[in-house]
Structure 1
Amino acid sequence: MQMKKWLYTLLVVVLAACSNEIPEQQPAKRSGRTVLAYLVSNSPNSLEINLQNNVVDMYTALAGSKDSCTLLVFYRPQEYQSFLDVPTLLCFDTDGRGNINGSPALSGGNLTFEGVCQTARKKEYTLNSQVATDPDVMEEVFADMQKEAPSDSYGLIFGSHATGWIKGTSFQARAFGDDNGYNIDIPDLADVLKRSFPEKKLDFVLFDACMMGTAEVGYELKEVTSHCIASVMETPIYGFPYDQILPYLYTQNIDYSAVCHEFISFNKKSNQWGTCAVMACSQMENLAEAVKAKLFEWQEALPSISMQKVQQYGISGGRRDYRYFSYDLLDFFRELGRKSGMAEADLNEAVASVQTALNQAVIAKDCLSGEDYAFGGLVIDDTRFCGIGMYIPGEYNRYVTNKTVWNNYYKQSISWYHAAGWDELN
């Protein structure tokens, strides 16, 4: 009888060790930071292959890690075109000695998206009539992630299509995400994160998505995360080089300048374009106050400002037209200062209050500048690139006077509009 009981216990242990499904019991809390990723590729303009490559690169980074760490990836696949049949949470633990989920890490010809998925612990989701950008779905996934990997803190990567603060479905905008045409607007996304991480345990949110590096986005996230990593431009479809940047994202004190540099260097080697910046979201209130004070000081010059002289970050092409959705924040005030009668030699001193607030709010930045790295006719001048952009409403910018949907939504829903004082100008 004792022998039978011992054999039964051994069998249970072996079966549990061999299972790839997420176990029901509560895991031990992890020290340090756990990295989470939320990737959505189910759109007509699919990023499926690129997001699959991103997952493989993340796995590669784990395989080379010298420390134990955890990665959880929610992957919404392109319907009927992916190895995964349904949205799936993929879980990976590395022991820092080349093993992932208890087995030697894949390499060579075995290192494929399919192979990586097969080695993961998994939870599958049946969305029925819901989509991956539905707030209820997102909250469920974030709860599952934290249940699977309780941690001192988290970092969160979002990968999909996006159009910054612009409301989804307007002018072919996607806000964040594209699950067969459905997306989530940035204020709603901030609310989801606030509810999902009530203890403000998000050290960073990284947007591997277009046009998210704006003051409007950073301000919406100020109560959600410590840092926001994003590009103010449309981003190349390859995304971030995760095999290079993921190790930085696990360190106690993240070298954000290195993250920006690795992204821009990767784009340069790929003969692409790009910008990258990191906002310290806790400083966005101070930046808003500095912007508001300067707008009030120079408001009489607003009607005469030459917006075509300000560095802007949107392009027009295909079915989209994002020109003038975002202007360089500091370059805007330089031009406004000129129209206020400031001499060129005095401009730096005149915008010093905004520059000081920017230095605190934008803690890292990098870009590819010049004609060699133009995108859709848009050329970035690194001497005018402050890191982030800002929308100039239609009352003060003739280029977007007819963007009624943009302007109405901006005034009604985007917190930066009020924080920066646009609503109080005469």
Structure 2
Amino acid sequence: MRNLYRIFSVVLLTLVFCACGKDDPSPGPDGPIVDSTIRRTVLVYMAADNNLYDNAWENLSDMTKGMKGVKGNLVVYLDVRGEAPRLLKIESDGSRRVLETYEREDSASPEVLRKALARTKALCPAPSYGLVLWSHGNGWIPGTSAGVMSSGLGSGEHGTGYEGTLWEKDPDALPTKWFGQDASTGSTMDIRDLAEAVSGEKPLDFILFDACFMSSIEVLYDLRHAAEYVVASPAEILADGFPYAAVLPSLFTRHPRLEEACRLFVEHYRGSDYPSATVALVQTSELEALAATVRNLVALNPSFSVDPASVQHFENMGEHVYHDLAGFCSKIAPGTAACRAFENQLERTVLFADHTPSFYSAYGYGSHWIEIESCCGVSAYIPFPGKSLNADYARTAWARTIGIAVE
């Protein structure tokens, strides 16, 4: 699963950007690529120094097809296993050219992400910017949590999981994604570090996560100032990822057609041999208002107890981590005006959501297909006495904001 983690080992990296040799975002030797008719630059940040490297090349080929005849700057930061990281530009004729090549670096480092975004803006300036984050990912779970550390994810292995089961993937399952794993260094990236790395004076037009579990309310709330819109999945994304040949034109229209991109993603998998897809389009300016409605629910029933087994889950772990946000909140203070206010605000926050009838999870054993009975498009952690990640959850900005007391 593609997953956002806190870096859980203290690793000091010397980041060497060969083309400029310093941290400032100055243009390259040939100057910036300026075309006044281009309205948007999109950076695809492919952290593929892990077991997704074959999928990275396949997606890159799809991107060259998708950009043919499209007016816009598509820049790809590509870090694949065994090769030097580089910054590529895919042209509207489908050709690719290297803008810069770098020494070996940690693509799971927020500093590398920050500099890749700065170099993209310096070399291919435009009035607006979008960002596609492509890698493994595991939502809000920090790399410092006992569950993640014991799973061996930092070393690029599936591991045995928290208490032997929580993070264990079936080795015979289909491959799925997480975010920000660099197998050569053992690093992962925490969501708070990522949010800080991509935040600027002006929010990005959008962030699209081609990574698992990123449509988590805990993740989205941390990103509320980083981009105007977020496209992400509450469940796992199969390693093939987004169908870029079909989706890319939607990202370069005058106003990006993000709902169309979501529909194309689900339709692609709905007609495939493995019909597994969940997606949501979230308007980040509504997230603080959503948090206020959930805080009101909790205030009405501060000692609430919601059984996680009673709410739709989005993975096949032995102890479920990701549940449907709407299903969870509907059980805190059901039938109240506060509950109706939450439902109304959720509709203003999640502009679009869609899914296949079931989804695929690489976790657990036996059947990997889970039927979807309800899905608002956004997941949430449900604190319950004795759950393994309660302490980590209590430290999230979302948990602190809504006032949940975690045992």
Q: 2:311, 2:328 within 8 Å by CA — same for their partners in 1?
A: yes
Alignment of 1:233-312 (within 5 A): 233-272=235-274, 273-300=276-303, 302-303=304-305, 305-312=306-313
TM-score when normalising by structure 2? 0.79
Deviation for aligned residue 1:362: 0.6
The residue type equivalent to 2:137 in the other structure is: A
Percent of aligned pairs with the same amino acid: 28
Q: 1:374, 1:380 within 8 Å by CA — same for their partners in 2?
A: no
Deviation for aligned residue 1:266: 1.2
Alignment-derived partner of residue 84 in structure 2:
86
The residue type equivalent to 2:207 in the other structure is: V
The residue type equivalent to 2:401 in the other structure is: A
Alignment of 1:62-141 (within 5 A): 62-65=67-70, 68-79=71-82, 85-94=83-92, 99=93, 105=94, 119-127=96-104, 130-141=105-116
The residue type equivalent to 2:390 in the other structure is: N
Query: Could you report, residue by residue, the CA deviation over 1:290-326 in whole angstroms, capped at 9, with x for unpaired residues?
Result: 11101221334x23x332111111222xxxx6x4212
In the alignment, does 2:354 pair up with 1:366? Answer: yes
Query: Could you report, residue by residue, the CA deviation over 1:123-160 in whole angstroms, capped at 9, with x for unpaired residues?
Result: 11113xx4112222222211111111111111100111
1:258 and 1:358 map into 2 onto residues whose CA distance is 20
In the alignment, does 2:125 pair up with 1:150? Answer: yes
Deviation for aligned residue 1:47: 0.8
1:271 and 1:293 map into 2 onto residues whose CA distance is 44
Gaps of 5+ in 1: 1-20, 80-84, 100-104, 106-115
Query: Could you report, residue by residue, the CA deviation over 1:319-361 in whole angstroms, capped at 9, with x for unpaired residues?
Result: xx6x421211111133344xxxx5xxx58x7732111111111
1:353 and 1:378 map into 2 onto residues whose CA distance is 34
1:64 and 1:240 map into 2 onto residues whose CA distance is 20
The residue type equivalent to 2:97 in the other structure is: A
The residue type equivalent to 1:329 in the other structure is: L
SS at structure 2 position matched to 1:182 = coil
Query: Could you report, residue by residue, the CA deviation over 1:57-96 in whole angstroms, capped at 9, with x for unpaired residues?
Result: 111111143xx211100000112xxxxx3001001332xx
Give 4+ residue runs of structure 1 displaced > 6 Å after superposition.
none
Q: 2:297, 2:338 within 8 Å by CA — same for their partners in 1?
A: no
Between structures 1 and 2, the one with greater helix share: 1
Deviation for aligned residue 1:422: 1.1
2:371 and 2:379 map into 1 onto residues whose CA distance is 12
Alignment-derived partner of residue 391 in structure 2:
408
1:232 and 1:336 map into 2 onto residues whose CA distance is 21
Gaps of 5+ in 2: 1-26, 155-177, 362-366
Alignment-derived partner of residue 220 in structure 2:
218
Query: Could you report, residue by residue, the CA deviation over 1:184-229 in whole angstroms, capped at 9, with x for unpaired residues?
Result: 10000011112xx3322x1111110111011111110111100111
Report how many aligned residue pairs link the two structures.
344
SS at structure 2 position matched to 1:177 = coil
Q: How large is the Cα RMSD of the aligned pairs?
A: 2.3
Deviation for aligned residue 1:374: 5.0
1:140 and 1:336 map into 2 onto residues whose CA distance is 43
Q: 1:176, 1:185 within 8 Å by CA — same for their partners in 2?
A: no
Alignment-derived partner of residue 391 in structure 1:
381
Deviation for aligned residue 1:378: 5.3
Q: 1:61, 1:242 within 8 Å by CA — same for their partners in 2?
A: yes
SS at structure 1 position matched to 2:127 = strand
Distance verdict in 2 for CA 1:125–1:369, change over 3 Å: same
1:420 is aligned, of 378, 402, 406, to: 402
Alignment of 1:125-204 (within 5 A): 125-127=102-104, 130-168=105-143, 170=145, 171=148, 172=151, 176-180=179-183, 181-194=186-199, 197-200=200-203, 202-204=204-206
Deviation for aligned residue 1:411: 2.2
In the alignment, does 2:34 pair up with 1:28? Answer: yes
The residue type equivalent to 2:310 in the other structure is: K
Q: 1:34, 1:151 within 8 Å by CA — same for their partners in 2?
A: yes
Q: 1:33, 1:155 within 8 Å by CA — same for their partners in 2?
A: yes
Alignment of 1:304-343 (within 5 A): 305-316=306-317, 323-337=319-333
Alignment-derived partner of residue 208 in structure 1:
210
1:334 and 1:150 map into 2 onto residues whose CA distance is 45
2:284 and 2:74 map into 1 onto residues whose CA distance is 24
1:263 and 1:47 map into 2 onto residues whose CA distance is 19
Relative contact order (alpha carbons < 8 A, sep ≥ 6): 1 or 2 greater?
2
Q: 1:213, 1:388 within 8 Å by CA — same for their partners in 2?
A: yes
SS at structure 2 position matched to 1:156 = strand
